[in-house]
Amino acid sequence: MKFSKKLLFSAIILSFVVPAPVQAAVTSQKQAEKVEQNVQSTMPTKQRVSDLTNTAIYYYWNGGQLKKNEKKIFKGVTIKSNFGIMEHLFKQAIKLDPQDTNLQMDLASTYRMEDKNSKANDIWKNILKVHPKNYNARLKLAAFAHANGDDQTYNENISQLEAQNPTKTATFTDAIHQADNIQNLDINTKVPSNLPKDSHHYFVVLGYALGKDGKMQKTMLDRLNVTLKAAKKYPKSKIMVSGGVPQDGVTEAAAMQKWLVSKGINKNRIEKEDLSTNTVENALFSIRDLNNDKATSATLITSASHMRRAYLLFNMAEVIVENSATTDAKQPTMTQIASVDDKKVLHKVESAEKNAIMDDVLRINGVWQLPGLQR
């Protein structure tokens, strides 16, 4: 079956999804065209779908190639953002395999990330028409209805979920209520004077995406400046820098550690958590490390616009890690300090923040944002 022209697998696309030895072999446009023809004529549908989804994930993590590659990869298609690329790729994958519910859920999540909530709702509703027992589709329909003030849709769908699986649903309704309560968090913007003054207290600073050259951006530097003030005020406290996602061979945690050391902080005070790729993993991995280190208290440091979501996730992670821990270490008491990136968010929770909180509340409780691809 001949591929649509919209699914041109150029050398650019192939470089994202084929092994390095194959990439090395593609050294000219002519060779790339031959490979493309071979792929289109021989590649099984399952592999073509996999390549489309792999490329979508590439764009989820790599925003810098959009302008450079748009015309080569998506001929005849107007792409305005990296989420737009993901949307296009998932739609093409669904054309190849229209019965794959996970792909439909992936597209709905992409719409959610673009704040196209009505389109996401339509997909969840369409899935439920065919699969009325699809728990995650109904849960997302209910949760985001609640986040946007539609309590009728929330209550109707939660009732059906309770009938389907009351124990599981109780876990999610409790998590959703915690998401409601976190909106009342009093975000602290100054280093308090009443924190523990011992080495069992940690400052946990969350990373932020590095530039392509591995350099830190203003958001991360603002968080580090708060950390530096706090570390100087509490010289016995340890510091955990949390963040993976390397750029130019440098992880967020490594960049933060290097900066703090350059400002006079003893390297032995700093512990790196350099495996996390998002806020959910920041919380899960950092809390486990704090547990293993027998920390008794921890102060979370991130941006004000990120604090409610992060602080909620860290408190949820405490319960998750405690339930799965192999030691009897007591979970640390949490406090928080924020760098002020937006004064408005200190006293008001906008719709976009409510939706982002709900995204991550579902993720940390086991409902992936992109099923099978990205937690």
Higher-confidence position of 301 and 65 = 301
Q: What is the pLDDT of residues 204-242, one digit of tens each?
A: 999 998 988 889 999 999 999 999 999 999 999 999 999
Say yes or no to pLDDT of 12 above 60: no
pLDDT of residue 37: 54
Per the CB < 8 A criterion, the answer to whether 338 and 301 are in contact is: yes
Q: What is the pLDDT of residues 105-151, one digit of tens each?
A: 999 999 998 899 999 999 999 999 999 999 999 999 999 999 999 99
Q: What is the pLDDT of residues 277-286, one digit of tens each?
A: 899 999 999 9
Q: Which residue has the tokens 């996401």?
A: 120
pLDDT of residue 33: 47
pLDDT of residue 198: 95
DSSP string, 222-285: HHHHHHHHHHHHSTT-EEEEE----BTTB-HHHHHHHHHHHTT--GGGEEEE----SHHHHHHH
Tell the CATH superfamily of the 201-348 domain.
Answer: HUPs (3.40.50.620)
pLDDT > 90 in the chain, percent: 65
Q: Enumerate the domain spans of the chain.
A: 1-98, 127-183+350-375, 201-348
Q: What is the pLDDT of residues 300-332, one digit of tens each?
A: 999 999 999 999 999 999 888 888 766 666 789
pTM for this prediction = 0.82
pLDDT of residue 371: 83
**HEC assignment per residue over 14-80:** HHHHCCHHHHHHCCCHHHHHHHHHHHHHHCCHHHHHHHHHHHHHHHHHCCCCHHHHHHHHCCCCCCC
pLDDT of residue 297: 97
54-58 average pLDDT score = 83
Residue 362 Cα to chain centre, angstroms: 11
Q: What is the pLDDT of residues 287-303, one digit of tens each?
A: 999 999 999 999 999 99
pLDDT of residue 49: 86
- Cα 247 from Cα 237, distance rounded (Å): 29
Q: What is the mean pLDDT of the chain?
A: 85
pLDDT of residue 129: 97
pLDDT band with cut points at 50, 70 and 90 for residue 1: very low
pLDDT of residue 329: 64
Q: What is the pLDDT of residues 155-171, one digit of tens each?
A: 999 999 999 999 999 99
